[in-house]
Chain A
Amino acid sequence: MEFMAKFYTKDEKDISEMIKEAARISGLGERLKDKTNTYSKGMKRRLLVARALMSKPKLAILDEPTGGLDVIHSYYIRETIRKYAREYGVMILLSSRDMLEVEHICDRIVLINKGKVVAEGTPRELKEKFESKNLEEVFVKVVGFA
Chain B
Amino acid sequence: MLKGFRNFLLKELKELLRDPKILLGMSIVPFILFPVLGGIMNYAMQSAEESVTKMSFVVINNDCEEWSYVFIKFLSSLGANVFIEENVELNNNKLLELLSKYNVTQILEIPKGFSMNITTHVKDSNIMAFVRFYVHIATTNVFDITGSLPIDTAVAQFNRALAPDIINVKKSTIIKGEIKHNVDPTTVSGVIMSQSIIMPITILILLFYSIQIAAISMAIEKEEKTLETLLTLPIDRLTILFGKLIGSMIIAAVGAVAYIIGYACFMQSLINRTSPNFVTDLPSLGLAPHFWVIYFLGTSLFVTILSALALAVILSAFAGDVRSAQSLVGIVYPMIFIPTFALMYIDINTLPYALKLIFYTIPFSHPTITSKAIIMGDYITPVLGTLYVSFFTLAFMYVASRFFATEKILTSKLKFRWFTKSDNFEKQRCGSGAAGIRTQDFQRPRLECSTPQQSCGAIDHARPRPLVV
What residues make up the interface of A, taking CB atoms closer than 8 Å to B?
A: 4, 7-8, 45, 48-49, 51-52, 57, 60-65, 67, 97, 114-115
Contact A63 B446 (CB under 8 A): no
A-B pair number, CB within 8 angstroms: 39
Which among A7, A52, A63, A115 is the interface contact of B234 at CB below 8 angstroms? A7
Of B107-115, B150-158, B461-469, the segment with at least 4 beta carbons within 8 Å of chain A is B461-469
Is B352 an interface position by the 8 A CB rule?
no
Task: Supply 30 A–B pairs (Cβ within 8 Å), ascending by A.
Answer: A7-B234, A7-B235, A8-B234, A45-B466, A48-B229, A48-B466, A48-B468, A51-B229, A51-B468, A52-B468, A52-B469, A57-B469, A60-B468, A61-B469, A62-B466, A62-B467, A62-B468, A62-B469, A63-B464, A63-B466, A63-B467, A64-B466, A65-B466, A65-B468, A67-B465, A67-B466, A114-B446, A115-B443, A115-B446, A115-B447
A4 — which chain B residues lie within 8 A by C-beta?
A: 233
Q: With A7-B233, A8-B234 known to touch, is A60 a contact of B447 (CB < 8 Å)?
A: no
B436 — which chain A residues lie within 8 A by C-beta?
A: none
The smallest beta-carbon distance between B72 and chain A, in angstroms, is 79
B469 — which chain A residues lie within 8 A by C-beta?
A: 52, 57, 60-62
Contact B468 A63 (CB under 8 A): yes
Bound-complex Cα distance A7 to B236 (A): 11
Bound-complex Cα distance A49 to B229 (A): 11
Bound-complex Cα distance A65 to B443 (A): 17
A143 nearest CB neighbor, chain B only: B450
A97 — which chain B residues lie within 8 A by C-beta?
A: 452
Interface residue tally on B, bucketed by range: 10 to 19
What residues make up the interface of B, taking CB atoms closer than 8 Å to A?
A: 229, 233-235, 443, 446-447, 452, 464-469
The smallest beta-carbon distance between A127 and chain B, in angstroms, is 23
Could you tell me the dominant secondary structure of chain B's interface residues? Answer: loop
Bound-complex Cα distance A7 to B464 (A): 23
Bound-complex Cα distance A51 to B452 (A): 28
Given contacts A51-B468, A63-B467, A114-B446, 18 further A-B contacts (CB under 8 A): A4-B233, A7-B235, A8-B234, A45-B468, A48-B229, A48-B466, A49-B468, A51-B229, A52-B468, A57-B469, A60-B468, A62-B466, A62-B467, A62-B469, A63-B468, A65-B468, A114-B447, A115-B447
Bound-complex Cα distance A104 to B416 (A): 44
Bound-complex Cα distance A64 to B447 (A): 18
Q: Which residue of B465, B467, B468 has the most chain A CB atoms within 10 A of its CB atom?
A: B468
Bound-complex Cα distance A62 to B467 (A): 6
B467 — which chain A residues lie within 8 A by C-beta?
A: 61-63
Bound-complex Cα distance A64 to B467 (A): 8
B465 — which chain A residues lie within 8 A by C-beta?
A: 67
The smallest beta-carbon distance between B226 and chain A, in angstroms, is 10
Q: Which residue of B234, B447, B452, B469 has the most chain A CB atoms within 10 A of its CB atom?
A: B469
The smallest beta-carbon distance between A146 and chain B, in angstroms, is 15
The smallest beta-carbon distance between A48 and chain B, in angstroms, is 4
Q: Which 9 A-B pairs have the closest CB atoms?
A: A64-B466, A61-B469, A48-B468, A52-B468, A63-B467, A63-B466, A7-B233, A67-B466, A115-B447
Bound-complex Cα distance A65 to B468 (A): 7
B450 nearest CB neighbor, chain A only: A114
Q: Which residue of B443, B447, B452, B465 has the most chain A CB atoms within 10 A of its CB atom?
A: B465
The smallest beta-carbon distance between B304 and chain A, in angstroms, is 31
Bound-complex Cα distance A101 to B70 (A): 107
A45 — which chain B residues lie within 8 A by C-beta?
A: 466, 468
Q: Which residue of B234, B447, B464, B467 has the most chain A CB atoms within 10 A of its CB atom?
A: B467
Bound-complex Cα distance A48 to B468 (A): 6
Bound-complex Cα distance A121 to B235 (A): 35
Bound-complex Cα distance A8 to B48 (A): 65
A48 — which chain B residues lie within 8 A by C-beta?
A: 229, 466, 468
A114 — which chain B residues lie within 8 A by C-beta?
A: 446-447
A47 nearest CB neighbor, chain B only: B468
A57 — which chain B residues lie within 8 A by C-beta?
A: 469
The smallest beta-carbon distance between A99 and chain B, in angstroms, is 14
